Amino acid sequence: MQYCVPPAVNKPHIEKCIVSFSHNRYESRKAADRISIDKARREIAAGKRGISHLILRGADDDIDQLKFLFLIHGIPLMCYSLANLLFSSLREIVVIGSEEVKRVLDGFLEVVGTNGKSIHFVGEDPQNLSLLNTMRLGRGKLSLAPDEMVLFQPGDLPFMYDIEKVLRDKDIQSHNLILWLNSRQKMFPLCMDDPNSEFVRRNYHYRAIDEDNNELHEIKEPNIYPINLDAVESDIIELFFNTGSLLFIEEACK
């Protein structure tokens, strides 16, 4: 299936971002664990290269097991993602999350400051934790021009430090949606000759041609989405995220 968004004439750089520290919550800890374990068992049975270790929330948890709050060297994961955004050329950032996320955000900003950026917090909607609704919550805090792209980013990207190439991508002016896909060959260029160099095993769901280098790449879904929220219709966004399919092949895919 293919969907091409209308021709775009956008501003050349992205200055605003919606970062989501929100995630689905299952009806109980037992249900969340069952989904996580069942997925891993299916992957093991199928002989998959990578085995998932899903961190899922349960509605009856005494402490919210939100993956963005888990610690890396004693620091909540979300702080690494925030730091990458704070030290970029972005001017305005909307943070979506729970009350616990707000507490960490406030403490983090008290220590490191805002680096001259406008930071807004919007509480997640416990009754509607869909990604599309999260986008809407963030959009409501921003004043966006019709020709302005915004960066939408999930919060579990602690190593996404080289963000300027996304914010200043040459394709921003001519595309209303860009998908930065995960490529096995880009992340682990020596993986075919030296399997041990692929230190994180992932499952790649698609194949694509890198036309610039005439190379076949194994790829998986994107983690960051530069998008013109005025130009791309919400039902198309919802279909994309609900199906996990690569619907945008030509005008909107990179």
With bands split at pLDDT 50, 70 and 90, how would you rate the model's confidence at 241?
low
pTM of the full structure: 0.86
Domain ranges for the chain:
16-23+75-243, 24-65
Question: How far is the C-alpha of 114 from the C-alpha of 236, rounded, in Å?
Answer: 34
Is the model more confident about 33 or about 248? 33
Please say if the pLDDT value at position 113 is more than 60: yes
Assign 25 a pLDDT band (cuts: 50, 70, 90): very high
Q: How many CA atoms lie within 13 A of 211 on its CB side?
A: 3
Q: Could you read off the pLDDT of 86-107 as tens digits, one per residue?
A: 999 999 999 999 999 999 999 9
Q: pLDDT by residue (tens digit) across 34-45? A: 999 999 999 999
Report the CATH fold assignment for 16-23+75-243. Spore Coat Polysaccharide Biosynthesis Protein SpsA; Chain A (3.90.550)
Q: Measure the CA–CA gap between 86 and 203, rounded to whole angstroms.
A: 31
- Nearest in space to 177 (alpha carbons), one of 5, 52, 42: 5
Q: Which residue has the tokens 């406008």?
A: 118
- Residues 143-193 have pLDDT tens digits of 999 999 999 998 988 888 889 999 999 999 999 988 888 889 988 999 889
* CA distances for 220 relative to 53, 62, 179, 186, 223, angstroms: 17, 34, 11, 12, 9
